[in-house]
A and B are shown apart, each in its own frame.
Chain A
Amino acid sequence: MAKQDLTLNLKQKAKELRKDIIDIVYKAQSGHPGGSLSAIDMLVGLYNYKLKIEPKNPMWQERDRFILSKGHCSPAIYAVLADKEFFPKSELEGYRKISHMLQGHPELSTPGIDFAGGALGQGICFALGIALACRLDKRNCNVYAMIGDGESQEGAVWESSMAAAFYKLDNLIVILDKNQVQQTGKIKDIMDIGNATLKWKAFGWNVIDINGHDMSQVIKALDKASKLKNKKPTIIISNTIKGKGVSFMELNSKFHGKAPNDEEYKKAIEEIEKIDVKKFK
């Protein structure tokens, strides 16, 4: 497939899954739409382009692993996994409901889930352990982990960052979904994380800075990161907008962890439907 067609297809997929995210959260009347919408373009790039996975064999040992450290963005990963047929799409209706599979934050019992998130700062150390094991077993796979910028306030992120560089884990790729907003406000007002690029460079990582909503940049960054084998871990700093694609959710901390009401739901779906994928970034 020509790169241009591929990019366009992925953009179209991200548009569809944005609607699924809103649907999932609306039907559950619970969940985190903001960070799901900021992460979805990258997740589509990963699952529909980059990751070596087999939906019919989710625990395939040679697969690439994906760790969603910012586990509250479960609507986004569930939308992607359902679309890839790791489980039936009808499961999305049971999101956050009692006696259903899809838990508020991911659990390992769900096919396709490689990390039970929900407590921030715990994804990279888990990914680090997997990356060490993959290296011991000489597996030809990469371990990806997505963290948030609010999450970067957790000290454990930096413990793991130091260790990954120390162990020269060039099979580990972290994606920072830098969406600028956390639960109670803007990152820069709650606890500024400063210059992430300089910090990660100083910790000994390859750093790739992109606009995380521009699909052509996303796939280029994933290609580069997956091939960089220079005895350093790599981070893709994915500059995004929390709530991207729904105007009243964009950079609005109120939609960090709140479901849309009837009126907001209609408006959100209308707006997403109007997205011109060719121009979207």
Chain B
Amino acid sequence: MEKTATRDGYGKALLELGKQNPNVVALDADLSDSTRSEYFAKQFPERFFSMGIAEQDMIGAAAGLAFSGKIPYASTFAIFSERAYEFTRNIVSRNKLNVKIAGSHAGIFTGEDGKSAQAIEDIAIYRVLPNMVVLQPCDSVEAEKMVFALSNYNGPSYMRLHRNPVPVIHDAGYKFEIGKGEVLKQGKDCVIFATGTLVHEALKAAEILENEKIKAYVVNIHTIKPLDTNLIIDLAKKTNCVITAEDHNVIGGLGGAVAETLSENYPCIMKRIGLQDRYAESGKPDELYRKYGLDAYSIAEEAMKFVRKKK
């Protein structure tokens, strides 16, 4: 299967969007080659603002551009977007300004750069801001669709992107809708709600589980906020066996969001797969996923234990 990084989808779509909409502008904090906003920068230099290594200034300027009717996409690494967090809180989210923040190289999937670069808290901190939409694509096609969907959405958002290639599971005809989970695989015994890179691990885990006669739903939760609560409650009721999977701290991320929803609507025991409130280390993405329990085998193992306990 073809493999592409979600950041490539971001850059490609941003360039296309720039061609279609003259109000679209882009900003970056000296990482435009990595975030792929350089595709836009090369084509539209007058609409691209290099802000230097100054994330706070970038977010504030993006907010001023949005206040003036522009549609700014501001990109940097997920981890460094956090530098500007209080600017995002007090200028962007407080005022519901139409700023699209893109944080690339998220999660331990970013690999060799190690702890300093591996954002494992970004979903949590953006999710907690009123008015923010929080998105994470699982492949480059979905990333493209998100960039376009956001251009028609007027409000603050955070889009979480990844450095390394992942399989492309969507085709060009894929209909993406903010806030609607995507059931990738029908099941019966358990449901795995996964987001971002872990969607692929969850799909592989479901295959492993099938050999063990366990049928798992696999759901792509590309929108962590607003969460597709109807779908989550529905599948929790159908399976009574809920697993979440994310390359993020289990606290406050997808696992946290699902737990909040279920505890108020359909309390049930669930299993959160993700970083267990710890940082990781340098290494290759697949090695890290294995060691920190985020790979398909770890997910399948947890699911098996969970399903057997239920029976």
Contact = CB atoms under 8 A, between A and B. Distances in A.
**Pairing of A with B:** yes
B95 A108 contact: yes
B54 A129 contact: no
Given A132-B65, A133-B64, A133-B65, A125 B52 contact: no
A159 interface: yes
Contacts of B70: 133, 136
B293 to A, nearest CB: 39
A28 interface: no
A159 B69 CA distance: 24
B49 A125 contact: no
Contacts of B49: 132, 167
Given A126-B64, A129-B64, A130-B64, A163 B91 contact: no
Contacts of A156: 56-57, 60, 87
B46 interface: yes
Contact of A116 (B47, B59, B94): B94
A129 B86 contact: no
B68 A133 contact: yes
Interface in B46-79: 46-47, 49, 51-52, 54, 56-70, 72
B52 A116 contact: no
Interface in A155-170: 155-156, 159-160, 162-163, 166-167
A167 to B, nearest CB: 8
B60 A125 contact: yes
B186 interface: no
A129 B27 CA distance: 10
A127 interface: yes
Nearest to B60: A125
A179 interface: no
A249 to B, nearest CB: 28
B43 interface: no
B43 to A, nearest CB: 16
A156 B83 CA distance: 11
Given A133-B65, A163-B52, A163-B54, A126 B90 contact: no
Contacts of A131: 64
A136 B61 contact: no
B68 A119 contact: no
A126 B67 contact: yes
Interface string B81-97: 00000110011001100
Report, as a range, how many residues of chain A touch the other chain: 20 to 34
A134 B67 CA distance: 11
Contacts of A126: 60-61, 63-64, 67, 91
A118 interface: yes
B87 A125 contact: yes
B60 A129 contact: yes
A122 interface: yes
A124 to B, nearest CB: 8
Interface string A134-174: 10110000000000000000011001101100110000000
A125 B59 contact: yes
Contacts of A137: 68-69
B64 A160 contact: no
Contacts of B68: 129-130, 133-134, 137
A8 to B, nearest CB: 36
Q: Which of A121, A126, A134, A167 has the most CB of B within 10 A?
A: A126
A128 interface: yes
24 contacts: A107-B95, A116-B90, A125-B60, A125-B61, A125-B64, A126-B60, A126-B63, A128-B60, A129-B64, A129-B65, A130-B65, A132-B49, A132-B61, A132-B64, A133-B68, A136-B25, A156-B56, A156-B60, A159-B56, A160-B57, A160-B60, A163-B51, A163-B57, A163-B61
Interface of B: 25, 46-47, 49, 51-52, 54, 56-70, 72, 86-87, 90-91, 94-95
Interface of A: 107-108, 114, 116, 118-119, 121-122, 124-134, 136-137, 155-156, 159-160, 162-163, 166-167
Given A125-B59, A156-B56, 4 more contacts: A125-B58, A126-B67, A129-B60, A162-B52
